[in-house]
Amino acid sequence: MNDYIIGVNLPDSTGLPQLEEVLRRYVTDGFNACEINLSTFPMIIGGEIKPIVVDYVKEILSRYPLRYTAHAGYGLDLRNVEELEMHRAVLFSSVDVCAALGIELLNLHYEVQSQYTDREKAFFDAHREAAEYAMVQGVKLSVENIEVEIAQKTADFVRAVNHPNLGMTLDLGHLYLSAKHFGYDYLETVKECAPLLSHLHINDNTGDFEMMRLTNFDLYKTMDRNYRFAFGRGDIHVPPFWGKAPLKEAISIIRKAGYRGFWLCEYYNQSFVPFNREVQERVRREIENV
């Protein structure tokens, strides 16, 4: 019985030759869904969809009894008014890729609110138009809170766009870091966001905010992952219940609010292969036991 759709994210280091074995392992580990970062494979080149690659991926995805969601590829910045045409092209092509692959939902990052009206307007307009465009193709859009910003701003944005095809992704790990860093209540925020949720990212960390994420993002990206695990530095995406975020309480609030979407475990699962089944079972148990 799979009443709850427990998903896991495909590592962005997965090459096309490994895709099949990774998906097979997820099925064996009891997952029901997989989230794919769209820049994992060269499915978009120069803002345009590459059908030969999309068809190749689609054939492999169709072999497994999994449902699929997508994460927008790296570098997408819909506040970049200097290169807006290209960023919008990548956004709309991302929707096309999802539709072609039978992916139900496209997750997009909110990032940090800027001080500039024109950038915020570009960001708003792109999401509103893409929500409409994606609805026709049967792809839901969902905007995710990032640890570098107050989560309520993502919720406010989703309410402002006010489109039936655009909801909020709550990332419980990002929320934990953000709530501690900016000083607001974690579980109150989960309660406030729960009615808006179209998607959920479940992952863990130690609650220690990594300042380098704000002061030097390029250097931050080069930090060794195992070093960051060991020292608990920032948004480390370890398996749910391996860190300190109050995930049990958050899951309880979200389930009681009537959430019906994916329960997507978003962690560096390639580092935890022998334990992935246990992670899936633990998350499922926590949801069922509410």
Q: Which residue is nearest to Zn ion (CB)?
A: 201
Which among 42, 37, 39, 40 is positioned nearest to 53, based on CA atoms?
A: 42
Residues of the shown chain interacting with Zn ion in the complex, contacts defined by CB under 5 A: 171, 201, 266
Cβ–Cβ < 8 Å for 124, 81: no
Q: Smallest distance from the beta carbon of 24 to Zn ion, in angstroms?
A: 24
Distance CA 95, CA 135 (A): 10
| Closer by beta carbon to Zn ion, 95 or else 143 | 143
Q: What are phi and psi of 198, to 5 degrees?
A: -115, -10
Q: Smallest distance from the beta carbon of 82 to Zn ion, in angstroms?
A: 27
Q: Smallest distance from the beta carbon of 144 to Zn ion, in angstroms?
A: 5
Q: Smallest distance from the beta carbon of 201 to Zn ion, in angstroms?
A: 3
Cβ–Cβ < 8 Å for 171, 201: yes
Q: Smallest distance from the beta carbon of 240 to Zn ion, in angstroms?
A: 12
| Closer by beta carbon to Zn ion, 49 or else 148 | 148
Dihedral class, residue 264 (left if φ above 0, else alpha if ψ from -120 to 50, else beta): beta
| Closer by beta carbon to Zn ion, 149 or else 266 | 266
Going by DSSP bridges, is the β-strand pair 6-9/44-45 parallel, antiparallel, or unpaired? unpaired
| Closer by beta carbon to Zn ion, 56 or else 152 | 152
| Closer by beta carbon to Zn ion, 49 or else 171 | 171
Which among 122, 125, 127 is positioned nearest to 109, based on CA atoms?
A: 127
| Closer by beta carbon to Zn ion, 41 or else 267 | 267
Q: Smallest distance from the beta carbon of 266 to Zn ion, in angstroms?
A: 5
Per-position DSSP letters for 122-178, written without gaps between them: HHHHHHHHHHHHHHHTT-EEEEE--TTS-HHHHHHHHHHH--TTEEEEEEHHHHHHH
Residues in the chain: 290
Cβ–Cβ < 8 Å for 49, 93: yes
The single residue listed with the structure tokens 């953000």 is 178
| Closer by beta carbon to Zn ion, 12 or else 129 | 12
End-to-end CA distance of the chain: give it in Å, rounded: 17
Q: Smallest distance from the beta carbon of 237 to Zn ion, in angstroms?
A: 8
